[in-house]
Amino acid sequence: MGKVFFRLVLGGIAGKILGLLREVLLAALFGAGRVVAANRIALTATLIPINFFTADALSAGFLPLYVQYRQERPAMAQVLYRAVHLLLAAFSVVLAVALIFGRDLWVGLLGPGLDPHTADIAATMLGIAALGVPFYVLYNLYTLVGLANDDVRLINLRPSCQSIGLILATVIAWMTGQVSVLAWGFTLPYIVLWCVGAYWLRRRGYLREGDESGPRRPDQDATKLALRMFWRRLRPLLLIPVILQGSIGVERAVGSLLGVEVVAATEYARFVVDSVMALLAAPLGLAGLASFARMKAHEVSGGLRRLIPPVILVAIPLALVLSLNSRGIVTLLYARGEFDSRAVDVSSVLLLGFALGIWAHVLGYTFVKVLNARGANFKVAIVMAVSFGIPIAVNLLLYKHWGAFTIGAASSLSGLLMFLISARLLSVLGFSMRLLAVVLPGAAAAAAAGYLLAGPGVLRLIASCVAILLIWLGYVAAVPQLRRTFLSFVLKKLGRGADETPQDDLVAIK
Tens-digit pLDDT profile for residues 301-332: 777 888 888 888 888 999 999 999 999 999 99
pLDDT band at 213 (very low <50, low <70, confident <90, very high): very low
Radius of gyration of the chain (CA): 23
Following CA atoms 503, 506, 509, 510 in sequence, which dihedral angle do they give, to the nearest 10 degrees? -110
Tens-digit pLDDT profile for residues 174-199: 999 999 999 999 999 999 999 999 99
Please indicate whether residue 359 or residue 71 has the higher confidence score (pLDDT).
359
* CA nearest to 185, candidates 23, 338, 33: 23
Tens-digit pLDDT profile for residues 117-129: 999 999 999 999 9
| Three-state DSSP class for residue 431 | helix
The span from the CA of 254 to the CA of 503, in Å, is 48
Contacts of 222 by beta carbon, 8 Å cutoff, 6+ apart:
75, 76, 79, 214, 215
Per-residue pLDDT at 2 exceeds 60: no
3-state secondary structure 169-235: HHHHHHHHCCCCHHHHHHHHHHHHHHHHHHHHHHHHCCCCCCHHHCCCCCCHHHHHHHHHHHHHHHH
Least confident of 114-118, 212-216, 391-395, 468-472: 212-216
Entry pTM = 0.79
Per-residue pLDDT at 260 exceeds 80: yes
Contacts of 452 by beta carbon, 8 Å cutoff, 6+ apart:
none
At residue 490's C-alpha, the angle toward residues 486 and 496, to 5°, is 130
Least confident of 128-132, 294-298, 333-337, 340-344: 294-298
The span from the CA of 135 to the CA of 132, in Å, is 5
The span from the CA of 307 to the CA of 315, in Å, is 12
Q: Are 411 and 267 in contact (CB under 8 A)?
A: no
368: left (phi over 0), alpha (psi -120 to 50) or beta: alpha
The mean of the pLDDT values for the chain is: 84
Question: Phi/psi of residue 496, each to 5°?
Answer: -105, -5
* CA nearest to 407, candidates 267, 299, 237, 219: 267
Average pLDDT over residues 26-51: 92
